[in-house]
Amino acid sequence: MKKVCSFCGRSEDEVRLLITGMTGFICENCIEQAHEILVTSGLAGEEKPRGQDKFRIKKVPKPQEIKAYLDQYVIGQDEAKRFLAVAVYNHYKRLQQPEDKAGVEIEKSNIIMVGRTGTGKTLLARTIAKLLEVPFTIVDATVFTEAGYVGEDVESILSRLLQVADYDQAAAERGIVFIDEIDKIARKGDNPSITRDVSGEGVQQSMLKLLEGAVVNVPPKGGRKHPDQDYIHLDTRNILFICGGAFDGIERKIAQRLNTHVVGYSSVQNVRHIDKDDMMKYILPQDLKSYGLIPELIGRMPVLTFLNPLDKAALRKILVEPKNSIVRQYEKLFKMDGIRLKFPEETLDFLVDKAMEYKLGARGLRSIVESVMMDAMFEMPSKEAKSFTVSLDYARKQLGKAHLQKLEK
C-alpha cells in the first residue's frame, strides 16, 4: 500500500519528502503552506523573548560608576560627564519607579550639550552606548526636513531606535536617543520665518511632540510616510533625548548678552573677570534662542551643559591615555604587519602644537597624525623592518609635504 499525504492526498511518488507521523503522513508542500499561515497570522516569531532579555535592566550603574567608565575613553569634560551620568542614572530610576498613590511621577529631563567641533560630544554618546542596557541610537539632525519635502521625516529617529531594539516595542519605549548636529536645524534669524523654513524651524516644530512625550506613528522601515503603509504606535514619554551641537559662532551671542548688562562700576569689575578665551561656560538658554532654536524646543530640554575647548594638556592626553587613543590605534595597525611603532615624547609634543594651531580639536589631531603616518603606512608593509620610530625630523618633513600647510594661510 502506497503512502499518501494525509492533508493533500499526494502519493510518495508525487512528492520529494513525506514525513511520517503517529497516524498519518505530511508532504513538504503542506509544510510550506502551514508555515505561511503561521507567518501571516503573526505566530511564527513569538518564541523569541531574546530581545526583551537583552534590554532587561539587571543592575543600575551609579552616577560615579558611569563617570568612571567615561573617564577611560574620554579625556577631561568633567562637567558634561557629570550631567550625562546623572541624566542616565535618573532615566534608569524612572523606568523602575513604583506607582505612587500620591500621584508623584518623575518626569524625564532631556539634555542639550554645546561644544566646539572635536571636543568629544559624539564620543561621549558612543562610549555611554557601550555601557547601557537600554536601546541606544545616534542620529544626525542634518538629514531631516519638514513633512512633505525631500529628506527624512523626524519620526525616522524612532525607526532607528526600533531597529536597535530588534523591533521590541516595549524596549524601544524606554530607550535613549542622541541627536547630533542639533544646531544645523536652527532658523536663520532670531525672528520667526516669513517663508517656509523646511530644514530648520519646520523640523524643530516637528520634534516638539517627540521630545515632550506622545504616541507617534512610526514607519517601521524609516524614510518617508505614505498613506498605505502600516505604522507602529510608539509612546515617547519614557525615551530620553540627548542633543549635541557645535553652535559655531554662539560665543558672539554670549558676548553680546554679557556686554549689554554692563551698567555701573560693579558690573564693569565683573566683566574684567570674564574668561574671553572660553565664553561657552557662560551659556544660557536665551543664547540658544538668539542662535535660532525656538523657545518651545529649548523648554523641552531643561538640562543645558557645555564642553570645554581642548587645551594643549588635554590634546596631549588624548594622544596616548584613553583605551582607544590615536597612538594605540596606529600601534595596533603596525603590529598587525609585525612592526613595532614608537612615538618619542618630542614628536608627540610637536603634533599637539600643530593641532593647537589648526583649532580643530581631537579631529584635527587625528588628521595631523594621519598626514604624518601616510608614507610610512604605504611603504613599511613591503619592507622587512621590525620597528619604526616616528622622529621629530620625520614628522616635520611629512607635514611639510602634506596639504595641511594650506590651512595655515
Rounded CA-CA distance 28/349 in Å is 71
Rounded mean pLDDT of the chain? 82
Q: Is the pLDDT of residue 75 over 50?
A: yes
List Cα–Cα distances, 346 to 31, 350, 393, 394, in angstroms.
72, 6, 10, 12
Rounded CA-CA distance 186/182 in Å is 8
What is the average pLDDT across 308-314?
Answer: 87
Binned at pLDDT 50, 70 and 90, residue 299 comes out as very high
Q: Is the pLDDT of residue 191 over 90?
A: no
When mean pLDDT is compared across 29-38, 136-145, 198-207, 386-395, the lowest value belongs to 198-207
Q: Where are the alpha helices (DSSP H) in 294-402?
A: 295-299, 312-320, 326-335, 345-358, 361-379, 392-401
13 phi and psi angles, rounded to 5 deg:
-75, -25
Are the CB atoms for 365 and 120 separated by under 8 Å? no
What is the average pLDDT across 104-130?
Answer: 86
Comparison of pLDDT for 374 and 47, the residue scoring more = 374
Which element (helix H / strand E) includes 389? Answer: strand 387-389
Percent of the chain's residues with pLDDT above 70: 84
Q: Is the pLDDT of residue 308 over 60?
A: yes
Per-residue pLDDT, 406: 47
Q: Is the pLDDT of residue 123 over 50?
A: yes
| CATH code of domain 54-251+258-306 | 3.40.50.300
What is the average pLDDT across 343-366?
Answer: 88
Rounded CA-CA distance 263/277 in Å is 23
Q: Is the pLDDT of residue 378 over 90?
A: yes
Comparison of pLDDT for 52 and 286, the residue scoring more = 286
- Helix or strand or coil: residue 74? coil
Q: 312-408, which class in CATH?
A: mainly alpha
Among positive and negative, which fits the CA dihedral 215, 220, 226, 231?
A: negative
332 grid coordinates = 595596533
Q: Is the pLDDT of residue 218 over 70?
A: yes
Per-residue pLDDT, 54: 56
Q: Is the pLDDT of residue 171 over 50?
A: yes
Per-residue pLDDT, 403: 56
When mean pLDDT is compared across 122-126, 347-351, 379-383, the lowest value belongs to 122-126
Per-residue pLDDT, 304: 92
298 phi and psi angles, rounded to 5 deg:
-60, -40
Per-residue pLDDT, 409: 43
Per-residue pLDDT, 379: 92
User: pTM (2 decimals)?
Assistant: 0.73
Per-residue pLDDT, 22: 83
Structural domain spans, the chain:
1-47, 54-251+258-306, 312-408
Rounded CA-CA distance 90/134 in Å is 13
Per-residue pLDDT, 48: 43
Q: Is the pLDDT of residue 182 over 60?
A: yes
Q: Is the pLDDT of residue 263 over 80?
A: no
Nearest to 116, CA basis, from 249, 242, 252:
249
When mean pLDDT is compared across 63-67, 229-233, 269-273, the lowest value belongs to 269-273
Binned at pLDDT 50, 70 and 90, residue 81 comes out as very high
Binned at pLDDT 50, 70 and 90, residue 260 comes out as low
Within 8 A by CB and 6+ apart from 12, the residues are: 2, 3, 4, 18, 25
The number of angstroms, rounded, from the C-alpha of 287 to the middle of its chain's C-alpha atoms is 24
Q: Is the pLDDT of residue 224 over 60?
A: no
Per-residue pLDDT, 407: 47
368 phi and psi angles, rounded to 5 deg:
-65, -45
